[in-house]
Structure 1
Amino acid sequence: MRVLKITVTSIIALFAAAAAAAVNVNTATQAELQTLDGVGEARAQAIVEYREAEGDFSSKSDVTEVPGIGEKTLESIRGDITVGGE
């Protein structure tokens, strides 16, 4: 019988890797978007609604087209988001 040894260090590493994964603003759910710094329920919903009405974002800076998302918010989330292929 093979025993799987899991250490606290490996669990922490798994959580760190998951937290470091970029959020794809073209596919993320409202809940996933809310994990971004400065993006609460209203902004996350606005991103989803904008995406549904206008289509996918082609660049990270396109997120500023969403009402309520300005340059300051973009700068705080830029490193944590992706549009896929970037």
Structure 2
Amino acid sequence: MFTSISFSLSAAPATTPVTPPAPVVATQQTIPQLNLNTADALTLQSTLSGIGKTKAEAIVAYREEHGAFASVDELLEIKGIGNALLDRNRDKLTVN
């Protein structure tokens, strides 16, 4: 005689649906700018590339003698600051 064997197949256990990660949206970071008309020599020296103590003090002295900077390009009037140095730091500076 034949015996009936019954196999029960079960489905795979239920799983939580996988939610794809949210897309990464590139955002432009805002770089805080240094105000040439209010920054002291120590801040200028520590924040700007290629600006040491002497040039930082010269920037402050120029501002005290000539008044507030009207534009960042006025830095070119200071001895020792040329186009390359200004261009390296331009994005870090403002004259608000």
Question: How does the TM-score come out when normalised to structure 1?
Answer: 0.72
CA distance in 2: counterparts of 1:67 and 1:25, whole angstroms: 16
Runs (4+) off by over 6 Å: none
Q: Distance in 2 between matches of 1:56 and 1:71?
A: 20
Identity fraction in percent: 42
Q: Structure 1: give runs of 5+ residues left out of the alignment.
A: 1-16
Q: Which runs of 5+ in 2 are unaligned?
A: 1-29
Instruction: Determine the C-alpha separation between the residues in 1 that align with 2:38 and 2:49.
Output: 18
SS in 2 for 1:37: coil
Report which of the two has the higher share of helix.
1
Q: TM-score, normalising length from structure 2? A: 0.65
The size of the alignment, in residue pairs, is 67
Q: Which has the larger radius of gyration?
A: 2
